[in-house]
Structures are given as C-alpha cells and as structure tokens.
Amino acid sequence: MRKVIAILPLVFTSLLVYFLTKPMGSIPALGKLLDPVVGCWASAESVNKDYNNKLQLDGLKDGVTVSFDDRLVPHIKAGNDYDLYYTQGYLHAYFRLWQMDLQTRAAGGRVSEILGDKALKFDRTQRRKGMVYGAEQSLKAMEADPRSKQMLDAYTAGINAYINTLSFKTYPLEYKLAGFEPEPWTNLKSALLLKYMADDLTGYTEDIALTVLRDMLSPEEFAALYPERLHGVNPVIPHDSVKQTASLTAPAIPADSIAWAHLTATDFEVEEEGKGSNNWVLGGSRTKSGKPILCNDPHLGLNLPSLWYEVQMTAPGINVYGVSLPGSPGVIIGFNDNISWGFTNNYRDVKDFYAIQPTSATTYKFAGKEQPYINRVEKISIKGKPDYYDTVKYTVHGPVMYEETFHGPGGLKKPIAVTWMAHRPSNEVLALYMLNRSGNYNEYVAAIHNFLCPAQNMIYADRHGDIALWGQGQFINKWRGQGRYVMNGTDSATLWGQNIPVAENPHAHNPAQGYIASANQTVTDTTYPYWYNGYFYEFRSWRINDVLRNTRNATVEDMFALQNDVYSVLASNVLPVMLTHITPNEITDKERNYLNMLGSWDYRLMAESKAATVFQVWWTNFYASLWAKRFGKIPDQLKPSPERTMQLLKAESQYLGNIKDAVVASLRNSIDSLEKLKKADRLEWYKAKNTSVKHLTKLAPFSYSDLKIGGWGNTVNAAKSDHGPSWRMVVQMGDAIEAYGVYPGGQSGNVGSKYYAAFLDKWVKGEYYKLSFYTADAKPAATYTWSINPKNK
Amino acid sequence: MKQTFIVSLIIIGLGAIFSLFMTGMWLAIVLPSTMMIAMQIPGRRAFGGGFIGVAFLWLVLILIKDVPNHHILSSRMAGLLGLPNSAMFILVNVLLGGLIGGLSGWSGASLNKAFRK
C-alpha cells in the first residue's frame, strides 16, 4: 500500500508533463512553449543584441561581407553571383523563415498539414486552380537557363544552410505556436512563391459574375453599366506616345452561340479586391534638379512580417538596392548604379473560364470529339486525419476547377475549366537577374521581356535622363470580347490563340508630356491595336495625372507629398451632386448636423477628419441605394464600378432611377451608423476605417491596428483597412542617386525583436528613410558586420 | 525550513548550469526529484523545495531574457494568453515551473520513503 501511495505523486507529475507537452486542438503544447530555455523565451531578443558575426558556411565559394546599417538593412558584398544569392537566401531565412515557409505552403495548398481539415477547402482551391502545376511549368523554364538556375540553386542552398543550423530552441516563435517544423527549401518553393504573387495579382476575375449579369440585363443596359472601356480615362500609356502597330491580325469573332456559356449561379462569392499600386516618373524637364524622379508604392496586403525585405546586393557586374521578396532571389523593386524601376499591377485579364461538357466520367466534348481528361491526383495531407486525394481533371483548356465534387461560386456545379497565363512556363527569375544588372533602357527592355506573369506596368528612369514604362506581360491575341465571360469549352474557336509578341506590348519612352503615371488604370487608348479587357481603377490615376500635369520643378519632397495625398476625386465629383438633392427643410436636425460637417470639407480623407467619415458612410449607403432595385442581393463589388456610377450620376442617367430618393434614403440610413461611431468615439476617419497591419496569423498581440493614417483605396495614399502602400519609394536619378523608402514593417520577422515593426511609425506619418546606397567600391558604414567564409577553407 | 532553502538553492545553481544544454522542462522534472532522493528529504519539504527552487530558477532564466528584451516578447505573449501585462505572464510562467518542480520533488521524496527500509 505504501508503495502504491508513493506512486501517486509520480502519476501526478507524469500526467502534468504529458498534458504540457501535447498540443490540444489549436492550443500549442504549453510546456514546450513556456519553457524558459527553449520555448518562446528563446525569441526574446535583447534590444542591444550584437549582430556582429563570423560564419563558416558549407557550399560558399569565397568570402562574403554583409554590412548591416542601423535599420538592419544588409549590404551584401560577394565575389561572385553564386555567393551573392546564397547569402541572400541565408539572410531571408535568418530573418523571415516562417513567413516564406508558410506562404509557399499556402501557395501549394498545404495548409491543412498545419491547421487540420479546416483548411481543406483552401488547399483544394489552390490545387484545383493549378498552382503547383503552374510552378512546375515555370520551374522547368527557370532551370533551363544557366543564369536563373544558378541563382535559384545558390539561393536554395543558402536557405538550407540556415535551416540546418536550427533546433526547436532556435525555431521562429510561430513554429512553436502552431506546432510544426521548418522543412528543407527547394527551387520549386521559390517558383511557388512567384505563383503566389501571380495569383494575388492576376487571380481576381469577374468572368463568372459578368456571365450571369450579361444574361440578366438587356444588352443596352449591360453596355451602359459595364462598358468595355470607360471613357474619360488617362491611360497608362500617354496619348502622345508612339502608336503601337500590330504584326498579328485579330482572330475572327465566333458566333455568340459558339462563343459563350450560360450559367445559372445566382449567389456570388466575391473576394474583396484590394490590390492596387501607383508608380510615376518625372522626366528632367519637370524636376528641379533636371534629373528624373521615379516613384512607386505597390499596394498589397498589410502584413507582418512584412512582405518586403530591404537589401543591397553587390558583386562583380551588379550593385542593386531595393526590396526583395523572402522566398525569391533578387531585388523586385529598386534601383542600381544606373537605372531605377517600379511595378504596378497591369490588370489586363489573363485568366479565362470555359464551360466543359462531360461525355462520361473520363471524357469531355471538344471539337466534335470525345477527349480524355488527363488526371492529376493531388495528395493533401491533413494534420490528425488521413490524407485526402483530390483528382483534378486537366482539359485542353486547363484544370477543371469547379464541378460536382467542388462547387463554384453560388453552388455552381457546372464543370468549369480555367485557362490562366500563370499555368504557362515563364522565367521571372531571369527577368529579375537581368533587370538588377541593367545599365540602360535597352537592357531594361531586354530584361523585362522575360517577365510574363503577373503582367506589370514597369516604370523606368535612368541617369542618362530616359524615362519609360512598359505594360509588360504575356498577352494573347484575342478576338473582340474573348474571355470577358465564361466561354463554351466544346469549340476550338474559343481557345486562346497566338501570343502577342512582347515587343508589341504597350509602352512609352520619353513621351512629350514629360511624365508617365500608372495606378492600375486602363492601359491604352483606343489606338492600341490589340483587344483586351481587364479590371481597371481610375480614381488614383485621375488624381495623379491632375497633379503631375501641373508639376514643374518637382523635388523629392513634392513626391513624398503626392504619395501621401488623400484627395478623393470621387468625393469631389459626387458630393456636390448629392448635396443638390437635399432640401434643407426636409431633413432632421441630426442629419443637418452631419451635413454641416461636410460644408467646408476639402474632399481630403485626412486621418482626423470627421467629414471624411460622414462622406464615406453616406456614399456607401448611397451607392447601395442607387443599385438596390436593379441588382438586389448582388454584392457591391459586382455592381457597376464607382467610376461608372459617378459618370452616370453626373449625367443623371435613366439607369439610376430616382436619384433624389436614393440621396434622401441613404442619408437617413447613414445616421444610425454615424451615431454608433460617434458614441464609440470612432467618428474620426482613421478610427472609422481602422487601417491595421496584421501578423499573418491575425493574432492581435502580434498586430497593429487603429493606425493614424488617412486615405482609402481610391486616393493616392491607398491605406485601406488591410491593404495599402506596402513600400513607398522615391528615387532621384542624379549623378549620385538619391533614394528614399519606407515600408510598414521591419527587417526582422521575429515578434520578440525591436526590429519587427520598426518602420511602422514613419510609414504611418508619411515619412521616409534616406536609403544608404553604397557604390561598388565604397566601404559601407556598418553598424554590424557578418564575415562569412566557406567551411573547410 | 533551512533544508528546504538549501535544496532550492542547489536546484537553482545546478539548473543555471544545466540550462546550457537541457530544456527548462527537463530541469524542472529531473533536478528536484534527484535532489530529494539524494538528500533524503521528506514529503512536504520536498514539494516546497522543488517548487521554490524551480520557480526561482525559471524566474532567473526568464529575467535573463526578458529584461534585455525590454519586455517586447513577454507583452505580446501576455496578450496571447489574455493576461493584462508581461509581469502577469511571467508570474504564470514561473508558477507553472514551480508546480512541475514541486510535484517532481514530492515524487522523489515518495520514492525515497517507499524504498527505504
């Protein structure tokens, strides 16, 4: 008996330890997490941490020096290309491993391995849209060129050199929280990451929705509400550019009965479309210094760890500075000794859908014959559950994304296949390799012609004074209307035709107007010879063009101001119209109080403006009221665009119904929301919209919210609630390059580091860091230095 | 009482050295029971000694990380566990270590008693 009792404490201890070392549901193993030696505490980095280091790494060819400046931006100096990308991989992994691991797993549909079956639908979607298939295609192209192959091999080796040093203790905290482990990096993962970006930027589509809307509305009505091209735009390629000629003739338009499919989905799932970007460049004729100034602010998800990692990379033949994407080698947006460049999303439609007519379980109808599907079995591992096998049927058009076993939007069961430029082989890594080394306009053009998907408006300036922009990507010579709606997949006339030669992509080189600006607007005017459609946004472009048209003697400070501009073109156009429909003696006192706030408003969505909140709430309700009758439950994103609505409103279009009724009703409806905001002390615009920079897990203690920043998606400073300027850059291309930048994050991905969100304050305030760009022979002023040498040498 | 104090001091000292190559969890499990068996300490004092020793050991190990970190990590972790501030998080963390240490010490003492003739 004594012995039995003696066992009891042992049992208690064992039970406690058992529960502490075992994860329960989404709660991690607390014993491991709270272990003072190897748990979360290992991530508590001293604020005075000495980053100086001497490393011996396996596989490096020569010595490398990394000089970190006071913001922890590394300036890598290597003796050859291999070592350069090896070191970049090592640094990315050292500071950002968890994020690049998670993002590539997400790209490839492998989140269920970590989160269990709640992520199964997401993973199946990724697999069914062909993310892994596309990455495999591109990887073949990347590994076929010795330059990009070496770049990827070196980068992967550098990442793995770091991963191999890790133990549980040194894992990034998020691995301990979610209970998974880093795995070896591969070149395919880098390809997947680039497809992740391609999906983010070209994945958005309205084809299915427009198919239903077209059948729902009369042809006149549809054309008025959803014009193929909006009039009154400032296209990316200025009107005074050299007109593009076409070497290909447009394919014949098939009869409607052959071309189109008809769908019956009535309910739409639409993702919030928040991506946008601005870039512009001023030629020397418009700047004070007489040298070009290039500006770029890509708007992407505002996340921590940040999407971007700042770096300078120097080796024989290359000296480049800018932001890189952890997971991909090279610099994406930046400048070198001679040129600077930036990207905005091009938004030409490169993703089309086809209705498939199955003839049996294994065949479908195409060109009058039965064709067999090519099956690709996707194995999805699920944490705590048996593996799931999803058979994806590949047709001549591409993978069947939706079908009976995987419904599309609104329970759509009809088999729909997707043709997508991201499925085709392309070598964006080579494009970056060449672009990072380009010294002049011709080299830049040769470099970017390898960049096929996601299509980007690639802006350019150099020290010789040249400015340029290319709407670069691989596009298809389409017949008029092709791919705007879901097509009939049984006829070969609907297949994608020839590639448009990339040299015939829209471009402008030193246009007479002295500047070029892109902000996701319509790419060209009607003189462009090839037909295309897309998802274009005009408000920011209208504003930027209005400002730049009148800009002379511009300084970098003027450019800072424009990047942080919060003037709402929408408000300045619609609010005066809305107010004319208000009869003062027909409104309540409360309504009058709010309207009074708008009286002296300058249409700027300033952080502390209450008028901005009143307008935004009222406009949202007004827009919904205007279209309520015609569109019923259809979500806002699929209603006629705000740009088109604004034009119709100013023209008092018959399609809008009774405008006065909508104005009055929407004002009445807005009062409740406004009163609620007022009571909660959230009437100031920045509180009402709540711009947040969230950790990728969305965990609030790792995130920042209620940031005091103005603007909205339709102002130049496009700070929405979870999307916004992810990197603001201004570069003046003088004899010495003068560059400024800031991003809403920090160089370290470690939530326990003071560098985790170190730049956020400056970003919120619209301030910039002067970037320390060292010439190839200069010795950087280093706060910390890493001396890296090959092992066994 | 004195014995408890000495035991906890030894745990802290040894623990600080062993922490270089052992996890905090293993220290909390192994050290107290071994100590109690070796030093033939009876039940209640064994629990107390283990508790105080490990709690203090963990506190030291935590403060070594937390103070130079200016509580950046502990504040965030406190938020994750719904605790008001980093001090509370450290307290919870330290009590957890104490509990493991106490149980381990008690186990050691019981084994001692059971197998002693």
What digits encode the pLDDT tens for the residues A499-544?
Answer: 999 999 999 999 999 999 999 999 999 999 999 999 999 999 999 9
Q: Which of A2, A12, A13, A19 to mutate to test the interface with B (most CBs of B within 10 A)?
A: A13
Q: Can you give the pLDDT at residue A453?
A: 95
CB contact under 8 A, A701 and B78: yes
Q: What average pLDDT does the segment A93-100 reach?
A: 98
Q: Can you give the pLDDT at residue A479?
A: 96
Interatomic CA distance for residues B7 and B38, integer angstroms = 11
CA distance A45 to chain B (A): 5
Number of domains in chain B: 1
Q: Can you give the pLDDT at residue A14?
A: 86
Q: Can you give the pLDDT at residue A681?
A: 96
CB contact under 8 A, A699 and B61: no
B18-22 — which CB contacts under 8 Å span 24+ positions? B19/A36, B19/A37, B19/B57, B19/B61, B22/A37
- As given in the structure block, the two tokens for residue A172 are 């990034």
- As given in the structure block, the two tokens for residue A553 are 């003697």
Residues of A within 8 A of B70 (CB-CB) are: 47, 754
Q: DSSP assignment, residue A323? A: E
CB contact under 8 A, A45 and B69: yes
Confidence of residue A404 (pLDDT cuts 50, 70, 90): confident
- As given in the structure block, the two tokens for residue A137 are 């295609």
* Domain-wise residue ranges, chain A: 571-689
User: pLDDT tens digits for B57-90?
Assistant: 999 999 999 999 999 999 999 999 999 999 999 9
Query: Given a cut of 70, is residue A287 above it in pLDDT?
Result: yes
Interatomic CA distance for residues A264 and A765, integer angstroms = 48
Residues of B within 8 A of A21 (CB-CB) are: 25
Least reliable range by pLDDT among A19-28, A289-298, A428-437, B91-100: A19-28
Dihedral over Cα of B100, B103, B107, B109: its sign: positive
Using CB atoms, which residue from B61, B70, B111 is nearest to A6?
B111
Confidence of residue B46 (pLDDT cuts 50, 70, 90): confident
Report, in angstroms and rounded to the nearest whole number, the Rg of chain A calculated over CA atoms: 27
Distances, alpha carbon A22 to alpha carbons A9, A15, A28, A216, in Å:
20, 11, 7, 55
Q: What average pLDDT does the segment A127-143 reach?
A: 96
Dihedral over Cα of A775, A777, A782, A788: its sign: positive
Q: Which residue has the higher pLDDT, B6 or A686?
A: A686
Interatomic CA distance for residues A179 and A29, integer angstroms = 8
Using CB atoms, which residue from A5, A43, A177 is nearest to B73?
A43
Which alpha helices (DSSP H) does A111-255 contain, by range?
Answer: 112-115, 120-128, 131-144, 146-163, 173-178, 187-202, 207-216, 219-225
Element (H, E) at B14: helix B2-18
Q: DSSP assignment, residue A255? A: P
The answer to whether B113 contacts chain A (CB < 8 Å) is yes
Interatomic CA distance for residues A611 and A594, integer angstroms = 8
CB A733 within 8 A of CB A462: yes
- Strand, helix or coil for residue A623: helix
Distances, alpha carbon A417 to alpha carbons A107, A131, A339, A351, A677, in Å:
19, 14, 42, 11, 45
Query: Given a cut of 80, is residue B43 above it in pLDDT?
Result: no
CB A625 within 8 A of CB A666: yes
Q: How many contacts (CB atoms, under 8 Å) link A and B?
A: 115
Q: Residue B67: which domain range?
A: 2-115
Buried b (16+ CB within 10 A) or exposed e, A568-605: bbbbebbbeebeeeeeeeebeeebeebbebbeebebbb
Query: Given a cut of 90, is residue B25 above it in pLDDT?
Result: no
Interatomic CA distance for residues A424 and A354, integer angstroms = 17
Q: Which residue has the higher pLDDT, A634 or A784?
A: A784
The one-letter amino acid at A110:
R
CA distance B80 to chain A (A): 6
Q: How far apart are the first and last CA of chain A?
A: 66
- Complex-level ipTM: 0.94
The nearest alpha carbon in chain A to B23 belongs to A37
The one-letter amino acid at A493:
A
Residue A712: how many CA atoms within 13 Å on its side-chain side? 23
Interface of B with A in 14-53 (CB under 8 A): 19, 22-25, 27, 29
Query: Given a cut of 80, is residue A473 above it in pLDDT?
Result: yes
User: pLDDT tens digits for A72-83?
Assistant: 999 999 999 999
User: pLDDT tens digits for A633-667?
Assistant: 777 778 899 999 999 999 999 999 899 999 999 99
Using CB atoms, which residue from B24, B76, B103 is nearest to A37?
B24
- As given in the structure block, the two tokens for residue A654 are 């018959």
Helices (H) and strands (E) counted in chain B, each on its own, are 5, 0
Least reliable range by pLDDT among A43-47, A673-677, B7-11: B7-11
CA distance A489 to chain B (A): 51
Q: What average pLDDT does the segment A694-714 reach?
A: 95
Q: Can you give the pLDDT at residue A268?
A: 56
Using CB atoms, which residue from B69, B96, B106 is nearest to A34?
B96
Bridge-partner residues for A377, per DSSP? A391
- Strand, helix or coil for residue A295: strand
Q: What average pLDDT does the segment A403-426 reach?
A: 89
CB contact under 8 A, A701 and B58: no
pLDDT above 90 covers what percent of chain A? Answer: 84
Confidence of residue A272 (pLDDT cuts 50, 70, 90): low
- Which range has highest mean pLDDT (A68-82, A252-266, A619-633, A778-792)? A68-82
Which alpha helices (DSSP H) does A398-531 contain, by range?
Answer: 428-437, 441-448
Neighbours of B116 (CB within 10 A): 8
Interatomic CA distance for residues A344 and A275, integer angstroms = 10
**Average pLDDT of every residue of chain B:** 87
**Average pLDDT of every residue of chain A:** 94
* Length of chain A counted residue by residue: 793
Q: Can you give the pLDDT at residue A274?
A: 56
CB A700 within 8 A of CB A690: no
Confidence of residue A785 (pLDDT cuts 50, 70, 90): very high
Using CB atoms, which residue from A9, A20, A36 is nearest to B61?
A36
- As given in the structure block, the two tokens for residue A582 are 């208000």
Q: Can you give the pLDDT at residue A487?
A: 96
User: pLDDT tens digits for A457-468?
Assistant: 999 999 999 999
Interatomic CA distance for residues A512 and A283, integer angstroms = 10
CB contact under 8 A, A701 and B111: no
The per-residue DSSP string of A63-114 comes to -EEEEE-TT--EEEE-SSHHHHHHHHHHHHHHHHHHHHHHHHHHHTT-THHH
Distances, alpha carbon A578 to alpha carbons A300, A613, A672, A685, in Å:
32, 16, 19, 20
Q: Can you give the pLDDT at residue B1?
A: 63
User: pLDDT tens digits for A181-218?
Assistant: 999 999 999 999 999 999 988 888 888 888 888 988 99
Residue A138: how many CA atoms within 13 Å on its side-chain side? 34
The one-letter amino acid at A642:
P
Q: Which residue has the higher pLDDT, A274 or A15?
A: A15
Interatomic CA distance for residues B15 and A574, integer angstroms = 71
CB contact under 8 A, B65 and A42: yes
Interatomic CA distance for residues A631 and A120, integer angstroms = 33
User: pLDDT tens digits for A535-576?
Assistant: 999 999 999 999 999 999 999 999 999 999 999 999 999 999
